[in-house]
Amino acid sequence: MTEKPFVKVCWQDACDLHETWVEAEAAQKFGEELAEVVSWGWLISKTPKYVTLAADFIPDSGAWGRVTKIPTKMCQTIEEFKQS
């Protein structure tokens, strides 16, 4: 299918409050929260700055789809899964 490894990346993303104005207590509580994200895809590249994944692949053309770039420092784990 493809030589690229298929991986699961657990990472922390930035997030924001939906309200425009909030009380100080709500802002303080929100400051302690993180968005925990799990992304699956083929590992296109990994550099000191970014991990690049693709969620879709077309074998006939070699085209990649839904390509995502995640800052390496936000990645907690990268786990490879064997393709059969």
Reported pTM: 0.82
Instruction: Please state whether beta strands 63-71 and 75-81 pair in parallel, antiparallel, or not at all (unpaired).
Output: unpaired
Task: Count how many residues are written for the chain.
Answer: 84
pLDDT at residue 31, as a whole number:
74
Q: Please give the chain's pLDDT, 84 residues, in tens.
A: 689 999 999 999 988 888 889 999 888 888 777 899 999 999 999 999 999 999 999 999 999 999 999 999 999 999 999 877
DSSP, residue by residue, 51-75: EEEEEEEETTTTEEEEEEEEEGGGE
